[in-house]
Amino acid sequence: PHPGNYLFLPDGRVGLLDFGCVRVFEPDFVATWQRFARCIVEERPEDFRECADALGIVGSSRYDYDAGYRVFHFIYAPMRERPFRFSKQFSKEAFDTLAWRNPNLLRSDIPPHLAFSWRLNWGLFSVLGDLDAEGDFASTFRDAIHAPVPNPVRPAPLP
């Protein structure tokens, strides 16, 4: 299960939520997201406009691309810095940066495939923040954003 599906209960027990949620990401989306992530991780703000437009997050002609780059640059800190220590404070600041302090909040689109993947990210950031997890997340992430895009594995149809 995704790390965001664990509940750490006050008495020390761990609860597990599993809703059987499955999403197939098409190769075109994966390749576009990889290009977007490379733009942020490799600190190439000059490529942000093209990558953000391709990903489908720009919802208004008044979108502030410089502010958009700064927002994602902050959020992608765990995937840029080696090592990185997650904290509750970072998780809160990352969410606040994307939501409440984001001048593009009402100028952005969130396509369905991104809504699903961002839900995974926020759950993961939250759990890693609660654990004060530290590691070289950047190396694994860089491998993923430079890897060839595989064909999707589709779940078997229900009977």
* pLDDT tens figures, 73-95: 999 999 999 999 999 999 999 99
Taking 80 as the threshold, does the pLDDT of residue 2 lie above it? no
Q: Is residue 95 included in any domain, yes or no?
A: yes
Query: What distance lies between CA 146 and its chain's CA centroid?
Result: 16
More confident residue, 36 or 9: 36
Residue 37, token pair as written in the block: 């992530």
Taking 80 as the threshold, does the pLDDT of residue 68 lie above it? yes
Q: Is residue 112 included in any domain, yes or no?
A: yes
- The percent of residues above 70 in pLDDT, for the chain, comes to 96
Q: Is residue 66 included in any domain, yes or no?
A: yes
Q: Is residue 76 included in any domain, yes or no?
A: yes
Q: Is residue 19 included in any domain, yes or no?
A: no
- Provide the domain count of the chain: 1
Residue 9, token pair as written in the block: 């209960």
Sequence-separated (6 or more) residues with CB below 8 Å from residue 103: 64, 67
Q: Is residue 139 included in any domain, yes or no?
A: yes
User: Which residue segment(s) compose the domain that 51 sits in?
Assistant: 26-146
Q: Is residue 79 included in any domain, yes or no?
A: yes
**H helices then E strands: how many in the chain?**
7, 4
Q: Is residue 131 included in any domain, yes or no?
A: yes
- The one-character DSSP state at 58 is B
Backbone angles phi, psi at 13, to 5 degrees: -75, 160
Taking 70 as the threshold, does the pLDDT of residue 130 lie above it? yes
pLDDT reported for residue 66: 98
* Cβ contact 86:128 at 8 Å: yes
Sequence-separated (6 or more) residues with CB below 8 Å from residue 131: 86
